Amino acid sequence: MTQGNESARDLEHELANSEAKVKAAQHLLKRAAEEIEDLVEADCEDEQKNIATQAAERFRKAASL
């Protein structure tokens, strides 16, 4: 096997790892957004609910990038 093929294989492996990390981060952001929304449904002041809802929306937006 040539050095070029090994280098290309290494790059493909690194890319796959990076893509997996991005998907994991997106999953965590979506989960955080869901947990925030669950907490917002609890007995909170309207201002805190608005702040938490905005944070959940930001997490969802970041997860979709």
pLDDT(44) > 60: yes
Q: Which two tokens stand for residue 48?
A: 């805190």
Greater confidence, 26 or 42?
26
pLDDT score of 1? 56
CA atoms within 13 A on the CB side of 19: 6
For the residues 33-62, what does the mean pLDDT come to?
86
Q: So what's the pLDDT on residue 38? A: 84
Instruction: Tell me the helix, strand and coil percentages in the chain, rounded to 5.
Output: 85, 0, 15
Average pLDDT over residues 10-31: 94
Which pLDDT belongs to residue 5?
80
Contact 33, 59 (CB under 8 A): yes
> Residue type at 37?
E
